[in-house]
A and B are shown apart, each in its own frame.
Chain A
Amino acid sequence: MAEIAAVIASTHHPFYYKASTSTGAERPPFADVWQTKIEAFRETLTVAEPDVLLLVGSDHFHQFWLDNMPQFLVGHAEQYDANWYNEEREFGLPRMHMQGDRDLSGHILRGGLDTGFDLAFSNELRLDHSVTCPIITLRPQNDLPVVPVYTNIFAPPLPQPKRFVQLGQALRDLVESWPSDKRVAIIGTGHLSLELGGPRQFGPHGPDPEFDAKAVEWIRTGDIERCLGEVTIENLLEPGNATQGFMDFMLMMGVAGEGVTADYFDNLDLFHTMEAYFTWYPGGDPRPAVAAAAAALPEQAAAVAAQEV
């Protein structure tokens, strides 16, 4: 069966691409520290050596619209084009293209339908920045096949928070029951407190730092019980009118498991919203072995050099 190489939860900030690629006077003052943190976060995926990426995000009214809105949808395509004209226009995001993995898509769809999730599907799906941001930050070489899962955190009526957690638990079980020898990283992006198109938008930090501190702690420690006890669809609007995107973090808590502390955590207080990065290694943390191997390399090189002499 497939192995889960890593579980990763992250905010997705469409401005990262522009900030990290800009130079000179164009480069914002926070770009260097942001880029350093992203590169450290990226390493947590690299060392997990994934073969396939299961990507959880949410379409921002790009392909899905109010005349036909899926609550939970799985991409079931051979390939995916990605990013849209208005994301190019507003964020400077590049057009992208990814390979799919129809076998894993089909397994998740069939398994989801058989275990209580009536998942929608799409055979021709153009992805947006909720899914391409983590490719840009975590796997910029964009060399792995992906399976996208979209959730509706955007167009009410929305599914209950509990349902997001349950879908996360189901996705983990489904990946672990996929008859394949591949290593799958499950990566989901959401938001902490966030306001878009409201009076609290684009402040010096996220609209509700107290919520952010609490939310980060729930995620970091895997405290699903407390999180579900405090969060409702309605009260998520209080920290910011787009904070329902936090439910994608709750989905990822479901993937990571109740009470499981993240193996890696970092965050960054930016204008407009807080960035937060989490990695879990369900099969054990590969970093000590990777670090030991790296440390051994100079010794081996020295030994080889001594032999040659």
Chain B
Amino acid sequence: MPVVIFPIPQWEESLTLFCVILTGVIVVCSGALAYFRYVRMVRPPVGAFNTRDVVILLIVIGVLPFVYGWLPDTAVTCILLVTFASALYIGYAPLLGQVGIWLGIGVLFGLNIWSSNHIMGTVAGWDWWYAQQSVVVLLGAIAVCNLYLQGGMKLRHVAWMSLGLACYDIVFASYYPLTGRLIARYITHPLTPVIGMRFGRVDYALGLGDLLVYSLFFVAAYKAYGKWAATIAGAVTVVFGGFATAFVPFLFNFTNANLDELVPAQSLFGPAAFLTYLWMKRHYGRERTMAEYLASQSSTAPAPQVEQAPAPEPASI
């Protein structure tokens, strides 16, 4: 008979997790929204996010855990370094300039790598590590969220991606618990893609993917339909992404609840986000394009292009 250890009452653990998630959701959503409203990323000359991009993303997300599981930790760290550096560079180079961004990335990563190897013997050490970790992950999530949304990702895409991730989460967190194993193996290494906090002997953490989807859903709703839609999206995120994720183990597994186990957050949030999208589509109609959103923020509509044309011509003079 296994001995169940409860450092603190289950409801308190759930509440603590909820607070951690809520903090993460508030920071990432408000940060992503502020960025979306005030910073314009340089986008490629041609290309807008489309449905096939969602499929490609889901395939990559589905394959990546196997790749991570197969690679040695050092290689995973290298991949994460490149990924986070790219995200931070794309997101914050326009704000900090070339010197500033590389200095910032160097400091953040250096501190993270150093603390991953030296100070995690105590709860305070863990919390310091989590704090740095969270800064990097939140900044990364905000940058990637805007990269996608300012690249033309629509609420429709986010909703379908959430639904896809719900299936992914159910498979990889419950039936084939690869995600949990990966986290358990990698948790003390630099740039682990989670935010969190340690209280006593329990880690309360939320994954980068979850944060990204929450911020995408929130800001995409804002872009598509405005602030009231964003408010609804925010509420859905808090209820299904935060509250339900934190309290499901408490509600449905009273005897064996152990919050160190992985909760498949997207399996709860994905269907709710998708249904919310369907409701918004029916209620508000067509989503705004990026051009329409920008026009709504400014009385000046995008200027039409007026360059001259080399049209096909038939013959010489």
Are A and B part of the same complex? no
Interface residues of B (CB under 8 A from A): none
Interface residues of A (CB under 8 A from B): none
